[in-house]
Structure 1
Amino acid sequence: MIYHLIEALGTWIDQSALLGPLAVFRYVEFRALLAVILAFTIVLTFGERTIRWLLKQKIQDNPEFHNNSLNELMARKGNTPTMGGILISAAILASTLLLADLSSFYVQMGLICLVWLFGVGLWDDWWKLTSARRKPGTRDGLHSWEKLILQVGLAVLLGIFIHHHGENKFGGLTDYDYAATMAHSLTLPFFKTWVWTGEAFVPSEYLIVLGPVAFVFVAVIVIVGMSNAVNLTDGMDGLASGIMVIVAFAFLVLCLIAGFTLNEFVLAKYLLVPYIPLSDELAILAGSMAGACLGFLWFNCHPARVFMGDSGSLPLGGLIGFIAVVIRQEFLLLLIGGIYVLEALSVILQVGYFKLTKGKRIFRCAPIHHHFHLGGWTEQQTVIRFWLITALLVAIALATIKLR
């Protein structure tokens, strides 16, 4: 909204010494960093009253695990209010509405992703956490398959619209031939998909262009997979939110690279990464995610006063997956979000091995953060070490942009 107001007042701003400084809002880099600050401030401002409201409504969690030792370690978390995702999602929504270019197709799709998955998570949290006040025999929450259907349905729609938009928006425009192809390509780390001959960019032997079905399939795997991976990671004070701060900052940078242009200079072409015109506006969405999670850490750090619940973890994971699909950096997401991927794989392996061997386990407990916790790491050590690993993975991922 602020962006559109500045655009509407463009002539006055350009001619006025007093209003001139407002022209800085035209720069997406400034608005992306401002989104971090704004989202952080929103969460900090409304955090206390939201926690009090959740306590009043008895929106509390009493986690139980199929492991007596872990139950003893986690006993102190009983009666901690959850559904703090309301704070995170509201801050992301407000910051994006205020600072982003709302005419951007990608921003519109991102907001749909946020609201949809927040609704799914809120529905599940509310039914699950207020079950004690309902009649005996009623369901505690959404079944896993019900959540999965809603997630897959959204991912299919997003995949179709993103592919269709790239095909029609960029195709046929001479200046956007590079973008028209890259919008549908599969970007492989360490390989150049395009090369500069000295006169023009030409596709390399490693360029893989996805058809509509393959593109949508990849979108579903990434968006649904990351949404559930973040959900599984949300099991220790500050773990999921702290990692997301780092991951979102990384994608803020990647979005600026993917869409940045200055006159005829295209940064993505120089770095030989996918150039997706107008995708730089998603940096504001990523900045809002980073700021909201940073603010949430104020209340979620050890000992946590509130948990995010599905209403926070599902939209956070889905949004970062959506951004990765748009800027064609799904493989970098697997690397940057390596802890999330590891958490999800640990559950899949544990469950699969347990069923195959009729009772044997690979890990002491899954997700894997509980494995380390039961192995002697304190909760704070586990969380901070996972943060450090994520920071290292971000450095490696950004380095791969030039290591080709």
Structure 2
Amino acid sequence: MLYYLTDLFRDTIHASEWLGALGVFQWVEFRAVLAIILSFTIVVVSGKRTIGWLVMKKVGDNPDFGRADVNELMKAKSNTPTMGGIMIAGAIFLTTLLLADLSSFYVRMAMVCLVGFFLIGLVDDWLKLTAARRSTGRQGLHSWEKMLFQIALSVLLGFFVVNHPERMFVTGSEFTDMARALNIPGLKTWVKDAGEFVQSPGLIVLPPALFVLIAVLVMVFSSNAVNLTDGMDGLASGIMVIVAFAMLVLCLIAGYAHEDFVLAKYLLVPHIPLSDELAVVAASMVGACLGFLWFNCNPAQVFMGDTGSLPLGGLLGFIAVVIRQEFLLFVIGGVFVMEAVSVMLQVAYFKITKGRRIFKCAPIHHHFHLEGWTEQQVVIRFWLITVLLAAIALATVKIR
């Protein structure tokens, strides 16, 4: 909204000595920094009242981990207000509405992604957390129902994203191809020819159906991986700050262009015009999760629940799909991947061996807790691992 207003009155602003400073709103980098500050402020200011409302509504979780020793370790968290993701999603939505360029197709689709995954999480949390005071009705969504809604939403998003370049650019142009390029280590998207960067002849352009399939897998996996990680005070929110910040940087790389200079070409990664606006969305995620960490650090006053974890993970996956950095997302979010894979391995091994387990408990953060690590040690060490993974991923962007 603010971007639109400054763009609408651009000539007046540039001509005015007093209003000239407002021209900084045209810079996506400035708006990204402002988005971090604004979303953080929104969550911190609204946090106390929101937590009070959740307490009044008795929206507290009493999870059963299926093991007496884990239940004993986590018993202090019983009845802690959940659904704190309302603050996170609300801050991201409002900040994006104020600071992003809403004429951007990618920003609008990001908002659809945010609201869609938020509603799935909200319905599941509300049914599950209010079941104890309802004589009839559902106790949360069934796993297959939740998965079905996630897949349907991801298919919709993938379909619109894969068809968008066809309307925006000339069919067959380098930008249309880049928007569907397979971007993995070892594959160059650009090569130098006569001193200029041109599209690599070895570029693999994904067919629309395969693109949508990959988009669905990435968004559904990412949303559920963040959900599984949200099991200790500050764990998911702290990791999200780091991962979202790294994605912010990748958005700027993918979309930045000034006159004849295209940053993505220099770094040999896909250039997706106008995708740099997603940096504002990623920045709002950073600020919102920082603000949530204010209340979610040990001992937590509130948990985000599915209401927060599903939209956060879904947005990460959506952004990665748009800027063609799915591989780097899974590197940066290696802890999220580790948490999800530990659950899949545990369940599969348990069924195959008829009762045996690989880990003491899954997700894997509970395994380390049972191994003797304190909760704070697990959280801080997983944060540190994520910082290292983000640094490695960003340092190797240009390696092809």
Q: TM-score, normalised by structure 2?
A: 0.98
Q: Tell me, in whole angstroms, the C-alpha distance in 1 between the residues paired with 2:255 and 2:29.
A: 11
Match of 1:256 among 248, 252, 255: 252
Structure 2 counterpart of 1:26: 26
Structure 2 counterpart of 1:353: 349
3-state SS of 2:356 partner: coil
2:313 pairs with 1:317: yes
Structure 2 stretches of 5 or more lacking a match? none
Residues 176-211 of structure 1, C-alpha deviations (whole Å, 9 max, x = no match): x33221110110124423211234434446522100
Structure 2 counterpart of 1:185: 181
3-state SS of 1:235 partner: coil
Q: Tell me, in whole angstroms, the C-alpha distance in 2 between the residues paired with 1:20 and 1:380.
A: 48
3-state SS of 2:373 partner: coil
Deviates more, 1:88-97 or 1:10-19: 10-19
Q: Tell me, in whole angstroms, the C-alpha distance in 2 between the residues paired with 1:351 and 1:322.
A: 27
Match of 2:240 among 244, 251, 254: 244
Structure 2 counterpart of 1:269: 265
**1:120: Cα distance to partner?**
0.6
Q: Are 1:189 and 1:332, in contact at CA under 8 Å, matched by a contact in 2?
A: no
Q: Are 1:353 and 1:361, in contact at CA under 8 Å, matched by a contact in 2?
A: yes
Alignment of 1:141-180 (within 5 A): 141-172=140-171, 177-180=173-176
Deviates more, 1:49-58 or 1:192-201: 192-201
Q: Are 1:84 and 1:308, in contact at CA under 8 Å, matched by a contact in 2?
A: yes
Q: Tell me, in whole angstroms, the C-alpha distance in 2 between the residues paired with 1:140 and 1:180.
A: 45
Q: Tell me, in whole angstroms, the C-alpha distance in 2 between the residues paired with 1:205 and 1:243.
A: 38
**1:363: Cα distance to partner?**
0.3
Structure 2 counterpart of 1:278: 274
**1:142: Cα distance to partner?**
0.5
Amino acid at match of 1:268: A
Structure 2 counterpart of 1:107: 107
Q: TM-score, normalised by structure 1?
A: 0.97
2:229 pairs with 1:230: no
3-state SS of 1:201 partner: strand
Structure 1 counterpart of 2:7: 7
**1:11: Cα distance to partner?**
1.6
Amino acid at match of 1:296: F
Q: Tell me, in whole angstroms, the C-alpha distance in 1 between the residues paired with 2:225 and 2:194.
A: 43
2:215 pairs with 1:219: yes
Residues 274-315 of structure 1, C-alpha deviations (whole Å, 9 max, x = no match): 100000000000000000000000000000000000000000
Residues 100-134 of structure 1, C-alpha deviations (whole Å, 9 max, x = no match): 00010000000000001101100010000000111
Q: Tell me, in whole angstroms, the C-alpha distance in 2 between the residues paired with 1:189 and 1:170.
A: 27
Match of 1:373 among 365, 369, 377: 369
Q: Tell me, in whole angstroms, the C-alpha distance in 1 between the residues paired with 2:142 and 2:155.
A: 20
Q: Tell me, in whole angstroms, the C-alpha distance in 1 between the residues paired with 2:271 and 2:150.
A: 28
Q: Tell me, in whole angstroms, the C-alpha distance in 2 between the residues paired with 1:33 and 1:256.
A: 12
Q: Tell me, in whole angstroms, the C-alpha distance in 2 between the residues paired with 1:100 and 1:348.
A: 37
Structure 1 stretches of 5 or more lacking a match? none
Amino acid at match of 2:346: Q
